[in-house]
Amino acid sequence: MTAVDSIVRTLNERFADATRIVTPRANEVHCELSPVGINRLADLVCRDLGAELIAIAGDDRRREARVFFVHYVFADRAANWFVHASVRLNGGQPELPTMAPSHYAASRFERELRDLFGIDVLGHPDPRPLVKHAFWPEDYYPLRKDANAPSFADDGRPFPFTPVGGEGVYEIPVGPVHAGVIEPGHFRFSVMGETIIDMKSRLYFTHKGTEKLFEGRDPMACVELAERVSGDTSVGHALAFCQAIEAAAQAEAPLRARLLRVVLLELERLYNHMADFGAIANDTGFAIAHAHCFRIRERLLRLNKQLTGSRLLRGTLAPGGLVRDFEVPVDLAAAIDAALADFEEIVAICLANTLVADRLDGTGVLSAELAREYGVVGYVARASGVDIDARRDHPFAAYDQLRFAVPVHTAGDVRARTRVRVEEARESASLVRQACDALAGLKGGPFRIELGRIDPFAAAFGIVEGWRGRIVHWVMADHHGTLHRVKIVDPSFFNWPALSRALTGNIVPDFPLCNKSFNQSYSGNDL
Amino acid sequence: MSRAIAILFQTLLAAGLAPLVGGFIRWVKARLNGRRGAPPWQPYYDIQKLLGKEAVVSRTASWIFRATPFVVFSTSLVVASFVPLVAAPAGRFIAGDLFAAVYLLLLGTFFLALAGLDTGSPFGGMGASREMTVVALTEPTVALSIVALALNAGSTSFSQIVSRTLAEPAAALGPGHLLAFAALFIVTLAETGRLPVDNPATHLELTMIHEAMVLEYSGPYLALVEWGASLKLFVFLALAVNLFMPWGIAVSLAPIPLAIGLVTFVVKIGVLATAIAVLETRVAKLRLFRVPELLSASFVLALLAVLSTFLAR
């Protein structure tokens, strides 16, 4: 009996409130539960079966059914199965019991629900807003279907940061406007001399209404939007979106498209990891590595342009496959290998420099225990000993046909995060080579299938291991076949809070280095 | 009369050349990094641009904030007027010796730290606190290096030290001289905010030392602060080349020795500036808590310099 079957049986036997239990895809169980039952289910799948909460999505269905829905997605990494549970809430006065005490990630999703949908989360330990800023009117919930943009005015109240007191402790407020050209984020340091006692980040200065923009649009016309969720993760987000739409339409892209998707995703990983390595070295003052890594990044971006016509690999993916077919030049793998060899030389010079090494070693340590509790993903998790990679755990595109290693380090410091990137870059180059070989063996074949009609109000999701980590796109269509709701979970959503913990006990001038080694997206986090 | 003209000429030369040194180091670094880089004379454009801009001053700032750029610039300029650059004629060239030079420059730093605290911005205070830590650690080294030189020459006067070294070239390669030079070179890097102590090119406000102190300055004030900082670097480099390698310097104010002195001075400064650029390309920035270790090492070098002067007698 498979895991999915046994979960269905458990739901039938032990959850009297579970209704509409279906398995739309072989490794997915969907069900509807009462608000009380959801915590029991979370305990069952997370504590007893070892799955993790990967997304919570709100859904305003008051027009159709006078209710709000909240959807929970749990994923099991070991056996690759998913549980999707929906909770129906009163449309007039939506209330939801909190899951926060036992699931840290849930606490942040719930604060998001409260700010964007006005859903009351009962018993939530943190009453502070997450997304909402002081200039949003009290009753403005932008993801409700009837939300209208009112006038915005600052209420003048400061955000209630956790106060840290004691003799000699003082606060350093930094941002949201920084001296460098980076995205906006406010960081509140409580320090003693130069030692950081606590750091709290206040993000969400870039709320663009991205999720709302998807609503009411034809899914085929939304790839451009998905590509712009976070500029450096164009392929990652677009692919997650395409896969979610394909799952909703019960379709699978043809092999040729899936192999080309691997090539695109790995090219994106390569240019970001290499640029990141240089940026980390630059934050130690070692500018020469930065200059050269940017040169290599430029080399890769030109390859991207040559391959797809877009330096950021945009405009290529489509639900069902690709927008258009393209040939992979025979020398692509060789060009990538040459860029990698170039990169390896820079890496060797940097890591052999004792001054650089001294800055990286032991800086910003995130322990494996904390990494697990915060549910961090991507290279941050892998540098802290958490063996997680959606390409292997939930195979998508053509990753089940390719061989690759998942580098894991246990030190959890800046050096480990840097080394994970370097080793992943090597794996990416190897994956590109394998995919190119497989494509050469394929000799043509279809690059897209036409998608059929999407079932209205049936949830589906796509999971992709972007260069920062696991990306989840959750989609639901309405009766017209247009999108009713899209929920995007960028890896940064999970990783941002862990940064504060990694900083504790470090010194203020090392913050930029730690921050760069995490390199989270502000835009992808604040949709 | 000719001395007054010489001093005026020297002051103008320093003020005119100083921005070029910083720009030259940046340009060499860019070239070493494989970038094209801004031309070496870019700082002149920057100063010109800043002088034409409006200055924004925090409402909480007092007169100290407005006075500091003038203090920084004028102390640097006064020091530049009496340190040996092109000529070091025998006798007292002008009032002021090595101690006066070093502590006048410190006065500027002191005011910068006050101005950093004055605006109430967290970065100003942070930069001031860090700068004071660094300065407190460099000061003993500076004093000891001066003593090491003065012991050799029997005086802290520049022209005495220069003529002594010129008269006894062997002493210039002696351990006292070399160790003091090494100590003073490290101090120069720390005092002028260069790598591995401070990163002059960084945009990361939390890692800054010197830049954090002056973050609140804008317009003409910033121009003066920047110009003053480049003068300080210029003076430190001039001291390093002329006190330890004085060959070529004019000992009289006749035209031909002056011309030779000017050419050799520019070449020597260029070589030392290139050395700094190469060093800055090779090293990363030290973790802030490691800076005291480097500065203690420079102190030990200075101490050894003094000891070896005694032993060599």
Q: What is the pLDDT of residues B1-50, one digit of tens each?
A: 677 888 888 899 999 999 999 999 999 999 999 999 999 999 999 999 99
Q: Is the peptide bond before B196 cis (omega within 30 degrees of 0)?
A: yes
Per domain, the residue ranges of chain B are 2-312
Integer angstrom CA distances of residue A62 from A38, A117, A486: 21, 12, 17
| A162-171, A368-377, A485-494, range with the lowest pLDDT | A162-171
Per the CB < 8 Å rule, is B35 touching A291? yes
The answer to whether position A168 is within a domain reads no
Q: Has residue A235 got a pLDDT over 70?
A: yes
Please give the residue of chain A at the shortest CA–CA distance from B37.
A291
What is the per-residue pLDDT across A316-353, written as a single tens digit (0 to 9) for each?
Answer: 999 999 999 888 888 999 999 999 999 999 999 999 99
Size of interface A-B (CB pairs under 8 A): 79
A394: pLDDT strictly greater than 80 = yes
Whether chain B has a CB inside 8 Å of the CB on A362: the answer is no
Under the banding of pLDDT at 50, 70 and 90, the label for residue A72 is: very high
Of the pLDDT bands very low, low, confident and very high (cuts 50, 70, 90), residue A211 is very high
pLDDT mean over A32-41? 90
Return d(Cα A422, Cα A289) in angstroms, integer: 14
d(CA A20, CA A4): 15
For the cut 80, the answer to whether the pLDDT of residue A432 exceeds it is yes
Please give the structure tokens belonging to residue B93: 């060239």
Identity of residue A392? R
Angle formed by the axes of helices B175-191 and B122-153, to 10°?
160
Separation in Å, CA of B116 to nearest CA in chain A: 14
Per-residue pLDDT at B171: 75
- Record the tokens describing residue A168, joined without a space: 């000699």
Interface contact flag, B199 A285, Cβ < 8 Å: yes
d(CA A59, CA A485): 7
Which residues on chain B are in Cβ contact (under 8 Å) with A284? 284-285
% residues pLDDT > 70 (chain A): 100
Q: What average pLDDT does range B133-143 have in this prediction?
A: 90
pLDDT at B149 exceeding the cut of 90:
no
Tokens 């080579």 correspond to what residue?
Answer: A433
Contact B205 A178 (CB under 8 A): yes
Q: Do the chains contact at B122 and A178, CB–CB below 8 Å? A: no
In chain A, the residue whose alpha carbon lies closest to the alpha carbon of B201 is A285
Question: Is residue A413's pLDDT more than 90?
Answer: yes
| Residues 6 or more apart in contact with residue B62 via CB below 8 angstroms | B118
Among A122, A152, A177, where does a domain finish? A122
Look at residue A193 and tell me if it is in a domain. Answer: no
Q: Report the DSSP beta bridge partners of residue A317.
A: A322
Neighboring chain B residues of A180 at a CB cutoff of 8 Å: 203-204
B207 touching A, CB under 8 A? yes
Residue by residue, what is the 3-state secondary structure of A421-473?
HHHHHHHHHHHHHHHHHHHHHHCCCCCECCCCCCCECCCEEEEEECCCCEEEE
Q: Rounded CA gap, A190 and A165, in Å?
A: 9
Peptide bond into A176 cis (omega under 30): yes
pLDDT computed for residue B1 by the predictor: 60
Q: Are residues A308 and A446 in the same domain?
A: yes
Domain boundary among A107, A122, A137: A122
Residue A487 reports pLDDT greater than 90 = yes
Number of folded domains in chain A? 2
Residues 244-263 on B with a CB inside 8 Å of A are none
User: What sign does the dihedral A377-A382-A388-A392 (CA atoms) show?
Assistant: positive
Q: Is B286's pLDDT higher than 70? A: yes
pLDDT given at position B91: 60
Please tell me whether residues A479 and A367 are part of one structural domain. Answer: yes
Runs of H (alpha helix) within chain B: 2-32, 42-51, 63-82, 98-118, 122-153, 158-167, 169-172, 175-191, 210-213, 219-244, 255-282, 291-312
Are the beta carbons of B205 and A174 separated by less than 8 Å?
yes
Cα→Cα distances B62→B59, B65, B116, B132, B192, Å:
8, 6, 11, 20, 26
- In tens, the pLDDT along B57-113 reads 988 889 999 999 999 999 999 999 888 888 777 665 556 788 888 889 999 999 999
Q: How confident is the model at residue A160 (pLDDT cuts 50, 70, 90)?
A: confident
Which residue, A94, A122, A150, sits at the end of a domain?
A122
A359 in contact with B, Cβ within 8 Å: yes
Per-residue confidence (pLDDT) for residue B177, from 0 to 100: 85
| A107 shares its domain with A228 | no
The answer to whether residue A463 sits within a structural domain is yes
Residue B90's pLDDT is: 64
State the residue for tokens 């840097």: A418
Whether the per-residue pLDDT at B144 is higher than 60: the answer is yes
* pLDDT score of B253 more than 80: no
* Residues A228 and A113 both lie in one domain: no
Picking from A152-156, A270-274, A333-337, B272-276, which range would have the lowest pLDDT averaged per residue?
A152-156
Question: CATH number for the domain including A432?
Answer: 1.10.645.10
d(CA B194, CA B282) in angstroms, rounded, equals: 13
Token pair for A347:
């890496």
Phi and psi at residue A82, to the nearest 5°: -130, 145
Give contacts of A 81-120 with B, CB under 8 A: none
Same domain, A111 and A229: no
Per-residue model confidence as pLDDT tens digits over A2-30: 888 888 998 888 888 888 888 888 899 99
Helix (H, G, I), strand (E, B) or coil at B146: helix
pLDDT at residue number B92: 55
CB-CB under 8 Å, B281 with A509: no
Interface of A with B in 153-192 (CB under 8 A): 171-174, 178-181
Predicted local confidence at residue B197, as pLDDT: 87
Question: What's chain B's average pLDDT?
Answer: 88
A287 and B CB contact within 8 Å:
yes
Q: Do A180 and B287 touch (CB under 8 A)?
A: no
Chain B neighbors of A181, CB-CB under 8 A: 203
Question: What's residue A356's pLDDT?
Answer: 93
Give the mean pLDDT of B247-264. 85
Q: What is the CATH number of the domain that holds A22?
A: 3.30.460.80
A411 and A313 belong to one structural domain:
yes
Least-confidence region, from A198-202, A283-287, A390-394, B155-159: B155-159
Tokens coding A109: 């999703």
Chain B hits for A171, Cβ within 8 Å: 122
* Average pLDDT rounded to a whole number, residues A127-156: 86
B174 has a pLDDT exceeding 70:
yes
Question: In angstroms, what separates the C-alpha of B124 from chain A's closest C-alpha?
Answer: 11
Q: What is the mean pLDDT of residues A230-240?
A: 95
Q: What is the pLDDT of residue A1?
A: 60
Distance from CA of A228 to the nearest CA of B (A): 27
Mean pLDDT of the region B301-308: 91
Interface touch A194/B35, C-beta < 8 Å: no
Residues A371 and A52 sit within 8 Å (Cβ to Cβ): no
Summarize the confidence of residues A160-187 as an average pLDDT: 85
By mean pLDDT, which of A453-467, B81-95, B127-141 is the weakest?
B81-95
Quick one: pLDDT band at residue A181, thresholds 50, 70, 90? confident
Higher model confidence: residue A193 or residue A244?
A244
Cβ contacts of A281 on chain B, cutoff 8 Å: 284
pLDDT level of residue B224 (50, 70, 90 thresholds): very high
Average confidence (pLDDT) over A128-144:
88
Structural domain of residue A414, as residue ranges? 210-518
Cβ contact B35–A353 (<8 Å): no
CB A365 within 8 A of CB A411: yes
Mean of per-residue pLDDT scores for chain A:
92
Number of C-beta neighbours around residue A76 at 10 A = 21
Cα distance between residue A504 and residue A417, in whole Å? 17
Environment class of A127 (CB within 10 Å of its CB; exposed 0-12, middle 13-18, buried 19+) = exposed
CB contact under 8 A, A355 and B284: yes
Residue B130 pLDDT > 70: yes
Q: Do β-strands A28-33 and A81-90 pair in parallel, antiparallel, or remain unpaired?
A: parallel
